[in-house]
A and B are shown apart, each in its own frame.
Chain A
Amino acid sequence: MKLFGNGTASQRIEMLKNIPVFRELSRKEILEVDLLLHERTYEKDELIFEEGDAGHGIFIIVSGKVRAKSSHKLIEVAVPEFGPGDLLGELALFDEAPRAATAVAMERTLTVALFQAEFSSLIAKNKNIGVKVLLEISKTMSRRTRRLLLQEKSLPCV
């Protein structure tokens, strides 16, 4: 018996399946991950997180657009926008360093957040899911790092 249902399971699975970081997960695995995802909606111009904040998790954009601002020149140049499926603040999953940029919603934006401590416990409990999700996050991170190193501007990085 579910006391705290939130939309039908198939709708949620469909929504999450469209997010690149979860695309390799099976239906059952997505349901496990869904238990840990926190849905947040941000109004236009609302701050999602601020540069210098302690980061405790990642945000994945489901719909809407997000702009990143930073005092770090390289990020400012490389950045500009994040759209549906993009990850925000992924470095917080691996260390507790302060956020390198400020993320602001450019329009009404729906995100799902994955908290670092919950993600760690998920990896411990279900290595299969952990490997698949981490691999997708690593791909994004390596793409962003390469583009930063090569000073390419087509992919954002925070």
Chain B
Amino acid sequence: MKEFPQPGAITLLVNIAVTCLLLFLFQKIIWLVVPVLLALVVYYCLRPIVDALVVRGLAHNTAAKSVWLLLQLATAAMALAVVLLVAAKATTWQSSFDRYLAGGENLLRHTAESLEKVVSAFKKMGLASQLDQRAQQFTDQFAQKHLVPIALLLLKWLPSLLLVPYIVYFMLSDSTQMKKYVIKSVPNAFFERALLLFSRLDASLQNYFLGLLMLTLLDTVSLALGLAVLGIRSALWLGLAAAVLAWIPYLGSAAGCVLVVLIAATDFPDKAWMAYACLSLCLIVRLLDDFVYMPQTVGRKLHFHPLLSVLMFLLGATVAGATGLILALPLFGVISVIGEAVSQIVTDHKLIARYKAARQLAALRI
């Protein structure tokens, strides 16, 4: 997405305002926004496969239908596998879950006790006992307070998520017509420029989503290798979970790290260093991610000034709560690219003059 130059101050302010407005509106129709966004990600990941099939001689529609059908079969198979797995291992998982929560609690207590030994102020505060009490409360009430709402939330989202395959289908089979339909509304004067910008935006989004997938793969491999070397069980699945969680900006990486540390603390209760080693591993992978993997994969990802990122987070959270927190940055990225493209078109005096002349000619005809 770097083909577009840095926006000016006015464009930047307009982009921020539009992002906030959209976040506010999105919050009202979040049941539709989430499936559309997910469908967009799936569409950009599947499109290269459709294109590859077309190159091999399949008609575009047949290729789109075949890929969509395969996606449905794969999703159904995965859903069935998950249901069977949950049914078979629900009891084991419940006890494991309790065990890992207790493990986390232990780690917290040990860390607080160590801190008390080093810093006397913490001892006076009774840091270890306070933390212990809070953690105890949290774990005791976790099932009642959080598990049921999480299950209800998943049920509530199910119909909405079922929309994803249908949206993906129409995107795969009708995206060219959709694009033609949008371009048709562009006046003749801006036609060629709009086509060019549309095509760049499309290519950038595809690169971005494919890059994100590649990044997830690299993160998974790095974490899995590190965890396997440390001797953590199910290193691959744990690495994958942490890498997928990292899709949620900032918060996701932290959540993935907590997950890994929690498991290390529980599986190795007598080796506190193991939890710290896992924490260090997560930080190293995070650094690798930022300085090596990301420039190689999502190289053209939008880079905002850190202050602007924080500002967008705060604005997003204020305008749309948790939804805003998650969607603020990606949405701001897309709005920035579109905003820059539109500002390039509407500030081209030659094109504006041509547009006005064409309108006069059309009025004369009427």
Residues of A within 8 A of B (CB): 2-4, 6, 28, 32, 35-36, 38-40, 42-50, 53-57, 108, 113, 115, 117-118, 121, 124-126
| Partner of A38 from B55, B184, B358 at Cβ < 8 Å | B184
* Inter-chain contact A43/B55, CB cutoff 8 Å: no
Q: Is B362 an interface residue (CB 8 A)?
A: yes
User: In the complex, what's the smallest C-beta–C-beta distance from A97 to chain B, in angstroms?
Assistant: 14
Known contacts A38-B183, A115-B195; is A124 also within 8 Å of B174 by CB? no
A–B pairs, 21, beta carbons within 8 Å? A3-B170, A3-B178, A35-B60, A35-B176, A35-B180, A38-B191, A42-B188, A43-B358, A43-B364, A44-B365, A46-B361, A47-B358, A48-B188, A49-B192, A54-B192, A55-B192, A57-B195, A117-B196, A124-B55, A125-B51, A126-B54
When C-beta atoms are compared, the residue in chain B nearest to A53 turns out to be B192
* Inter-chain contact B354/A47, CB cutoff 8 Å: yes
* Inter-chain contact A38/B357, CB cutoff 8 Å: no
Q: Give residues of chain B (153-202) contacting chain A, Cβ–Cβ below 8 Å.
A: 170, 174, 176-178, 180-181, 183-184, 188-189, 191-193, 195-196, 199
The interface centre, meaning the residue of A32, A38, A44, A118 with most chain B CB atoms within 10 A of its CB, is A38
A40 to B354 alpha-carbon distance, docked (Å): 15
Number of A-B pairs, beta carbon distance below 8 Å: 76
User: In the complex, what's the smallest C-beta–C-beta distance from B179 to chain A, in angstroms?
Assistant: 9
A124 to B54 alpha-carbon distance, docked (Å): 10
Interface of B is mostly: helix
Q: Give residues of chain B (13-70) contacting chain A, Cβ–Cβ below 8 Å.
A: 51, 54-55, 59-60
* Inter-chain contact B180/A46, CB cutoff 8 Å: no
* Inter-chain contact A38/B195, CB cutoff 8 Å: yes
* Inter-chain contact A113/B191, CB cutoff 8 Å: yes
User: In the complex, what's the smallest C-beta–C-beta distance from B8 to chain A, in angstroms?
Assistant: 22
A74 to B193 alpha-carbon distance, docked (Å): 28
User: In the complex, what's the smallest C-beta–C-beta distance from A130 to chain B, in angstroms?
Assistant: 11
* Inter-chain contact A4/B174, CB cutoff 8 Å: yes
Residues of B within 8 A of A (CB): 51, 54-55, 59-60, 170, 174, 176-178, 180-181, 183-184, 188-189, 191-193, 195-196, 199, 350, 354, 357-358, 361-362, 364-365
The interface centre, meaning the residue of B59, B188, B196 with most chain A CB atoms within 10 A of its CB, is B188
Known: A43-B365, A56-B192, A124-B55. 8 other contacts (CB 8 A): A2-B174, A28-B59, A35-B60, A38-B191, A38-B195, A42-B358, A47-B358, A126-B55
Known contacts A43-B365, A47-B357, A117-B199; is A36 also within 8 Å of B176 by CB? yes
Chain B residue contacts of A55, Cβ below 8 A: 192
| Partner of A46 from B188, B193, B196, B350 at Cβ < 8 Å | B188
* Inter-chain contact B170/A43, CB cutoff 8 Å: no
| Partner of B192 from A44, A57, A108 at Cβ < 8 Å | A57
| Partner of B60 from A32, A44, A45 at Cβ < 8 Å | A32
Please provide the 8 A-B residue pairs with the shortest distance between their CB atoms, ordered closest to farther. A4-B177, A43-B361, A125-B54, A117-B199, A4-B181, A35-B176, A56-B192, A115-B195
* Inter-chain contact A118/B199, CB cutoff 8 Å: yes
When C-beta atoms are compared, the residue in chain B nearest to A108 turns out to be B365
A46 to B60 alpha-carbon distance, docked (Å): 36
User: In the complex, what's the smallest C-beta–C-beta distance from B147 to chain A, in angstroms?
Assistant: 42
User: In the complex, what's the smallest C-beta–C-beta distance from B335 to chain A, in angstroms?
Assistant: 23
Known contacts A44-B361, A56-B192; is A35 also within 8 Å of B59 by CB? no
